Chain A
């Protein structure tokens, strides 16, 4: 269930709506609102706080109040003079109703609206009546437009899925291409040139097994004879279930290497990028001086073609974008610190360009990297950072009225359980219930190996982007 909170705050009153929307609404294309209730505060600042009244009720009462006020205002507008009597008596004594009081006042009888104090009615000025009508109309219109909102969300999911599929398909295609390459490449060059990269193992959302066809191609008779013994023991591409992220390249093997598996040397089947202790450097790394071991595996295990799955440069947020998220870390706003947006694969020599500043750094020096959103999924300091991000990418949907970035400090204990959530700022506190944090009794991320607790900053942007970074 997703919390729905909406506030309408004209100058002299505020209407707060709280409700639950079933996640099934996305598929039904119609919001299934449950447990909706409201609080209406007549908080005109011109009056003392003790005279201000708050009424509450459920959706039925709110709709009734909307109709009452709408009808009254419309009748009032059709009267030729100010002092006309436009009272429409309610059909039930429990129903709220309005009638004019004097020249410019209107008395709202509360009926069965719940209220904390005793008055049965409220005297409203014209301006107060206008504000009340404004808030109620806004609520009515937004409730009516909710189906469009949810349709929009369901449409949004399709391009994401398609994008993931396209990216993986490109990776496989590149892998097939590279498997046809001439074996003249020297073993020393092959370390950097024939490289296998993938979405980090901790990214569970798009396992490679999902894009593997259920049956291997049957017109490649050489495949069974050349496959390594470990693969020969397996059924061809059939079981995606035993695939774990580190093993996923093995499952891709039959479909991509069956054409010329002998041309790919074992040493060429992985990307080994050796750490380079140059934390200040911002230039893209040359292939000869890699700094990160991505998906390390024994060289003898597989003959893997280079498969590189990359985000398009347009998806990589620029540093300027990150500076707009109000992150306080000075590193984030440093103009010197840039991140290569052009992670690219040259299909002819399969050079992978990797930034130097990757691994061997202290945690506080890595604050930058998780903030790089999609790109950072390759370079998160700890896998838990990506796990947190992946969790909220699935769970969090930005409210339509959200204008500002929300930031939370998540304290996670050694076992990977969420211990504390600290909202940073008023807005973060206000939307706390809508973020859907996991219960503290459920394992949130994989256990930490080094520290007792770890603090991760969660940044939720109004456009749906989610950033996670280590927080000290």
Chain B
């Protein structure tokens, strides 16, 4: 079910009204968390993301690791405040395309993770007992606590967030996932995290 269609472009992502700063902050946060979930599940590095940007021909936005790091640092809940840049709407679109492209590439793995999560919950079994899910949620929560200011966040809430992002990634891995994510971001930006 991997996408065989033409690669998504910015034209697929339209916005009627430019989000305000508060909404942009929420968008930045959500995009960074989705990348974090992808990193926790699959072997995704900065180089992988830059390569994806080149494949999608959006490498003018994300040219190198430093640029990528500055983009991700724009997440307002990140610990580090130095080097933070302001994320504009075009950069947000770039990250949307990259996330959905990577999700599509790892769709089978994401699907397996979601299937295992469903099975474990239906059997009243802890997802941690399943290697894939245990490794994923451990890496997600640890990285989250390392990078984010809200390191005092309740572990159960972080776990729920990790699994929710995993499920979301499944829907974003579809051929029109970038549209789904973009619409979700525009709605999501109105909701406080």
Q: Contact at B176–A137, with CB atoms within 8 Å? A: yes
- Does B175 have its Cβ within 8 Å of any Cβ on chain A? yes
Would you call the interface of chain B mostly helix, strand, loop, or mixed? helix
- Does B32 have its Cβ within 8 Å of any Cβ on chain A? no
- Residues of chain A lying within 8 A (CB to CB) of residue B163: 82
Q: Contact at A130–B121, with CB atoms within 8 Å? A: no
A82 vs B176: C-alpha distance when bound (angstroms): 22
- Does A74 have its Cβ within 8 Å of any Cβ on chain B? yes
Q: Mark B159-176, 1 if CB is under 8 A from A, else 0.
A: 011011001101100111
Q: Contact at A82–B167, with CB atoms within 8 Å? A: yes
- Does B183 have its Cβ within 8 Å of any Cβ on chain A? yes
A105 vs B167: C-alpha distance when bound (angstroms): 12
Return A66 CB to nearest CB of chain B, in Å: 12
Q: Contact at B117–A104, with CB atoms within 8 Å? A: yes
* Contact status of A81 and B164, CB under 8 A, knowing A74-B180, A127-B111, A130-B174: yes
- Does B81 have its Cβ within 8 Å of any Cβ on chain A? no
Query: Which of B66-74, B90-98, B138-146, B185-193 lies at the interface?
Result: B185-193
Q: Contact at B171–A133, with CB atoms within 8 Å? A: yes
Closest-by-CB residue of B relative to A102 is B121
Which one of B1, B121, B176, B193 contacts A10 once the chains associate, using CB atoms below 8 Å? Answer: B1
Which one of B114, B175, B187 contacts A127 once the chains associate, using CB atoms below 8 Å? Answer: B114
- Does B184 have its Cβ within 8 Å of any Cβ on chain A? yes
Closest-by-CB residue of A relative to B111 is A127
- Residues of chain B lying within 8 A (CB to CB) of residue A102: 121
The residues in A between 58 and 91 inclusive whose CB is less than 8 angstroms from any CB of B are: 73-74, 76-82
Closest-by-CB residue of A relative to B164 is A82
- Does A103 have its Cβ within 8 Å of any Cβ on chain B? yes
- Does A203 have its Cβ within 8 Å of any Cβ on chain B? no
- Residues of chain A lying within 8 A (CB to CB) of residue B175: 134, 137-138
Q: Contact at B180–A126, with CB atoms within 8 Å? A: no
Which one of A103, A127, A141 contacts B121 once the chains associate, using CB atoms below 8 Å? Answer: A103
Which one of B111, B115, B121, B180 contacts A73 once the chains associate, using CB atoms below 8 Å? Answer: B180
Closest-by-CB residue of B relative to A79 is B164
* Contact status of A134 and B174, CB under 8 A, knowing A80-B191, A104-B121: yes
- Residues of chain B lying within 8 A (CB to CB) of residue A138: 175
The residues in A between 98 and 139 inclusive whose CB is less than 8 angstroms from any CB of B are: 102-105, 125-127, 130, 133-134, 137-138
Q: Contact at A127–B176, with CB atoms within 8 Å? A: no
- Residues of chain A lying within 8 A (CB to CB) of residue B115: 125, 127
A43 vs B40: C-alpha distance when bound (angstroms): 32
Return B107 CB to nearest CB of chain A, in Å: 10
- Does B118 have its Cβ within 8 Å of any Cβ on chain A? yes
Total cross-chain contacts (CB, 8 A): 64
Return A367 CB to nearest CB of chain B, in Å: 36
- Residues of chain B lying within 8 A (CB to CB) of residue A82: 160, 163-164, 167
Return A201 CB to nearest CB of chain B, in Å: 45
A102 vs B117: C-alpha distance when bound (angstroms): 13
- Residues of chain B lying within 8 A (CB to CB) of residue A130: 111, 114, 170-171, 174
A141 vs B4: C-alpha distance when bound (angstroms): 13
Closest-by-CB residue of A relative to B157 is A81
- Residues of chain B lying within 8 A (CB to CB) of residue A125: 115, 118
The residues in A between 4 and 61 inclusive whose CB is less than 8 angstroms from any CB of B are: 10-11
What range describes how many residues of B lie at the interface?
Answer: 20 to 34
Q: Contact at A78–B184, with CB atoms within 8 Å? A: yes
A126 vs B166: C-alpha distance when bound (angstroms): 11
Would you call the interface of chain A mostly helix, strand, loop, or mixed? helix
Closest-by-CB residue of A relative to B163 is A82
Q: Contact at A78–B191, with CB atoms within 8 Å? A: yes
B180, B181, B183 — most chain A CB neighbours (10 Å)? B180
Closest-by-CB residue of A relative to B172 is A77
Which one of B122, B160, B174 contacts A133 once the chains associate, using CB atoms below 8 Å? Answer: B174
A80 vs B161: C-alpha distance when bound (angstroms): 8
Return A113 CB to nearest CB of chain B, in Å: 23
Return B150 CB to nearest CB of chain A, in Å: 14
A77 vs B174: C-alpha distance when bound (angstroms): 13
Q: Contact at A77–B176, with CB atoms within 8 Å? A: no
Return A236 CB to nearest CB of chain B, in Å: 56
Q: Contact at A77–B118, with CB atoms within 8 Å? A: no
The residues in B between 30 and 76 inclusive whose CB is less than 8 angstroms from any CB of A are: none
* Contact status of A77 and B121, CB under 8 A, knowing A127-B111, A134-B1, A137-B176: no
Closest-by-CB residue of B relative to A137 is B176
Closest-by-CB residue of A relative to B176 is A137
- Residues of chain A lying within 8 A (CB to CB) of residue B191: 78, 80
Return A142 CB to nearest CB of chain B, in Å: 11
- Residues of chain A lying within 8 A (CB to CB) of residue B1: 10-11, 134
Which one of B118, B184, B193 contacts A104 once the chains associate, using CB atoms below 8 Å? Answer: B118
A38 vs B51: C-alpha distance when bound (angstroms): 41
- Residues of chain B lying within 8 A (CB to CB) of residue A11: 1
Q: Mark B103-134, 1 if CB is under 8 A from A, else 0.
A: 00000000100110110011000000000000
A126 vs B116: C-alpha distance when bound (angstroms): 11
- Residues of chain B lying within 8 A (CB to CB) of residue A10: 1
- Residues of chain B lying within 8 A (CB to CB) of residue A126: 114, 118, 167, 170
A136 vs B47: C-alpha distance when bound (angstroms): 35
**28 cross-chain CB contacts under 8 A:** A11-B1, A73-B180, A74-B180, A74-B183, A74-B184, A77-B168, A77-B180, A77-B181, A77-B184, A78-B188, A78-B191, A80-B164, A81-B160, A81-B161, A82-B163, A82-B167, A102-B121, A104-B117, A104-B121, A125-B115, A125-B118, A126-B118, A126-B170, A130-B114, A134-B1, A137-B174, A137-B176, A141-B176
Extra contacts, 18 of them, besides A11-B1, A134-B175 (Cβ < 8 A), are A74-B180, A77-B181, A79-B164, A81-B160, A81-B161, A82-B164, A103-B121, A104-B118, A104-B121, A104-B167, A125-B118, A126-B167, A130-B171, A133-B171, A134-B174, A137-B174, A137-B175, A138-B175
**Which residues of B are interface residues toward A (Cβ below 8 A)?**
1, 111, 114-115, 117-118, 121-122, 160-161, 163-164, 167-168, 170-171, 174-176, 180-181, 183-184, 187-188, 191, 193
Give the 4 A-B CB pairs with smallest separation, nearest first.
A77-B184, A78-B187, A104-B118, A82-B164
